[in-house]
């Protein structure tokens, strides 16, 4: 069990986060997300880099399927956000498998390179 008071998100964690407020086509509400940034960065800066996870497969080219024990859906690799996780009620859910994490990272590289 992960203590929420001492929890620091690390790359590969799937977490619950509050995404309000939102604008335009951004996802909103409390939803799962994948932690992309390293734990050392998250701890030092108090921010984290996250990709949203949706429960509905939309067929977008940058979706990566998640088939964990708790969360099932798609990581939206093109929905990358830097967020203050401390005020967004972060809650650890589970780890993503390494192959899926690597695929998300590769898709992000395709977008930004």
Q: Which of 111, 108, 112 is nearest to 51 (CA)?
A: 108
Q: In a 3-state reduction of DSSP, which class is residue 110? A: helix
- How far is it, in rounded angstroms, from Cα 7 to Cα 76? 24
Whole-model pTM: value is 0.89
Would you list the domain boundaries of the chain? 13-112
Q: Which of 96, 92, 89, 88 is nearest to 9 (CA)?
A: 92
Instruction: Please report the pLDDT score of residue 4 as a whole number.
Output: 61
pLDDT > 50? residue 24 = no
- Give the fold, CATH level 3, of 13-112: SH3 type barrels. (2.30.30)
pLDDT tens digits for range 29-88: 789 999 999 999 999 999 999 999 998 888 889 999 998 789 999 999 999 999 999 999
Instruction: Please report the pLDDT score of residue 68 as a whole number.
Output: 75
pLDDT > 60? residue 17 = yes
For range 90-107, the mean pLDDT? 96
């Amino acid at each position: 069990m992960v203590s929420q008071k001492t929890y620091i998100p690390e790359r590969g964690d799937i977490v619950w986060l509050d995404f309000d407020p939102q604008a335009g086509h951004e996802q909103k509400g409390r939803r799962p997300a994948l932690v992309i940034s390293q734990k050392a960065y998250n701890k030092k800066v108090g921010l984290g880099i996250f990709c949203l996870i949706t429960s509905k497969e939309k067929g977008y080219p940058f979706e990566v399927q998640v088939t964990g024990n708790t969360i099932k859906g798609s990581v939206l690799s093109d929905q990358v956000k830097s967020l203050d996780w401390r005020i967004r009620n972060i809650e650890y859910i589970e780890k993503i498998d390494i192959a899926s994490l690597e695929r998300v990272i590769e898709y992000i590289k395709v977008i930004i390179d």
